[in-house]
Amino acid sequence: MRCSAYKSDGTPCRGEAQEGLTTCWSHTPENLAVLREAGRRGGRAGGLGRPSVFVAEIGAVKKTLRGIASAVLSKDPAKRVNRADALAAVQALNGVLRALDIERRVHELDEAELLLEEMAERAKRERAS
Ligand SMILES: [Zn+2]
């Protein structure tokens, strides 16, 4: 089921409603409080609970890259890896990093949009009262 909320531009939210609810995660009132809190913290840590996932994933890629570097540079023939293989792996990991960066930027835009919606809602309520 689609989320029943509307976005700030008046178009219906395309999010998937949560089980047993009529709204998606972002449009559920208690989660708006979470988003508000995230906005207060500059949307850096925590946010939708996802930036920490990016940090973890980037951390994993960095660890793998370090592993490759030490294997390529290793004096121990048993640990050493083929340079071409290492290069291919590093290129693939660069692709992963780029994808993560794009995802993170999309996430930040989503978050900014939600915060704007929330602020617009609040302004509307204040005008009404
Ligand atoms: Zn929604």
Q: Which residues span the domain enclosing 83?
A: 47-128
Q: 55 CA to middle of ligand 1, Å? A: 26
Residue-wise pLDDT for 21-55, tens only, equals: 898 887 887 777 766 666 665 544 444 445 677 78
Q: 114 CA to middle of ligand 1, Å? A: 9
Contact 15, 28 (CB under 8 A): no
For residue 108, list its beta bridge partners. Answer: none
22 in the same domain as 55: no
84 in the same domain as 27: no
84 in the same domain as 23: no
pLDDT of residue 119: 87
Report the alpha-carbon distance of residue 17 to residue 118 in Å, rounded: 18
Longest pairwise C-alpha distance within the chain: 75
107 in the same domain as 52: yes
63 in the same domain as 28: no
Q: 102 CA to middle of ligand 1, Å? A: 22
Q: How far is CA 54 from the centre of its chain?
A: 6
